[in-house]
Chains A and B, each alone.
Chain A
Amino acid sequence: SSELTQDPAVSVALGQTVRITCQADSLRSYYASWYQQKPGQAPVVVIYGINYRPSGIPDRFSGSSSGNTSSLTITGAQAEDEADYFCISRDSSGNHVVFGGGTKLTVL
């Protein structure tokens, strides 16, 4: 089982806003990074740190954190955003990397 908890599936209407969450006690101490994975492809980082987007990631992707929950928000979801999204962070000891189970995003 994953140490970071994500909803298995979320859907959003085209052009609307969706929030994907990641929960764990360790997130009170460490930021999560967020990854997009399309079928047959490697994951790509979309958000890291407080709310940093690597070059090439659209500004409709944003991140936030509150308490034990990290969130990835897509404002104005596009068809090409349909993918699996994973969060990654550290465990409570800070010594190891832990992953969320992933959220499958469907754009309707």
Chain B
Amino acid sequence: QVQLQESGPGLVKPSETLSLTCTVSGGSISSYSWSWIRQPPGKGLEWIGLISNSGSTNYNPSLKSRVTISVDTSKNHLSLRLGSVTAADTAVYYCARYQANLLLEWYWFDPWGPGTLVTVSS
């Protein structure tokens, strides 16, 4: 079964770029679509964006100007880059497989990684 694990710096300075990696095991990353989701401490979830198995991307309009999601098929890695970060970007960041039944228009996220906390502070 597919398992996900996020990794990256736990502390990022304001105005710098947050970079995270999600390692996919138990399946080929090129066979599925993937997404990044975040959760500020004590708050709800926020969708960051997704990348399809064809490589097309789709971002949250509120973050679109700062976000890049990509995959490295040779390493089975999913990546997130978020530029010009501020304290408001402090959150637990999750990667998740984005599943879809296009005929029925069903969409869901499964599985999720355990998440990684990123704090933006000087």
Contact = CB atoms under 8 A, between A and B. Distances in A.
A99 B108 CA distance: 11
Contacts of B108: 33, 45, 48-49, 88
B44 A86 contact: yes
A95 B110 CA distance: 19
B58 interface: yes
Interface residues of B, number: 23
Size bin of chain A's contact surface: 20 to 34
B110 to A, nearest CB: 5
B107 A97 contact: yes
Contacts of A96: 47, 58, 60-61
A49 B44 contact: no
Contacts of B109: 33, 35, 43, 45, 88
A2 to B, nearest CB: 6
A46 B18 CA distance: 31
Interface of A: 2, 29-31, 33, 35, 41-45, 48-50, 52, 54, 86, 88-90, 95-102
Interface of B: 35, 44-47, 50, 58, 60-61, 94, 99, 101, 104-110, 112-115
